[in-house]
Amino acid sequence: MTDNDTDKPRDDAVEKELDGVPADMLDDGEEGGEEDALGEALERLKSDLDAAKQDVLYAHADMQNLRRRMEKEKEDARNYAATGFARDVLSVSDNLARAIESMPADLREDDRVRRFVEGIEATQRELEKVFGQNGITRIAAKGMPLDPNQHQAMMEIPTDEHEPGTIVQEMQAGYMIKDRLLRPAMVGVAKKPD
């Protein structure tokens, strides 16, 4: 090696890497010792570069997952924001239905009572329309098999007319909001008589 070869400036990254290499590794008295150290330093730099590339890929994947999760949470917030309010309004709907059901037939003959009942029924239809516009639907119950994801069995009713496990009575209507359960239907389920 000539003096001119040793005076050539080294790449900053290689120089920095060589700073940590012990002097005996750089100059072990054998020809090519410095080249071996440079080769090792270059290999470490390549390894560090590969690790940095991998870290960038992982960070990019994490960002994509976070973006997807945030979009889903935003969509869920938009779709289900009214859940608490909807649960509260269901009791109003239940009371309107009870009022209509409890009106004796002979009182409906009276013109004023009939108009009153028609007004309650119109209010109930309007409420059901608003429910539909907001993705709130009634759960089918009577005559259906019991689905513990949508129905809450309150009692068993002995009967030969229906298959065991079939809903024969609905005590309280159940509702879904989009694809989530808002309130289970409270039902009576058929069982074989003793």
Query: Would you place residue 3 in the very low, low, confident or very high pLDDT band (cuts 50, 70, 90)?
Result: very low
* Per-residue pLDDT tens digits for 95-129: 998 888 888 888 878 888 888 889 999 999 999 99
* Average pLDDT score over residue span 33-53: 89
In the chain the first and final C-alpha atoms are separated, in Å, by 106
Query: How far is the C-alpha of 53 from the C-alpha of 45, rounded, in Å?
Result: 12
* Closest CA relative to residue 180, chosen from 73, 71, 76, 75: 76
Residue 13 has pLDDT above 60, yes or no: no
Task: Tell me the domain boundaries of the chain.
Answer: 9-81, 82-134, 138-194
* Per-residue pLDDT tens digits for 138-158: 999 999 999 999 999 999 999
Place of tokens 């400036």: 9
Name the CATH superfamily for 138-194. Head domain of nucleotide exchange factor GrpE (2.30.22.10)
Query: Would you place residue 78 in the very low, low, confident or very high pLDDT band (cuts 50, 70, 90)?
Result: confident
Query: How far is the C-alpha of 37 from the C-alpha of 40, rounded, in Å?
Result: 5
What CA–CA distances, in Å, run from 19 to 4, 6, 38, 108, 157?
A: 21, 16, 11, 100, 86
pTM: 0.62
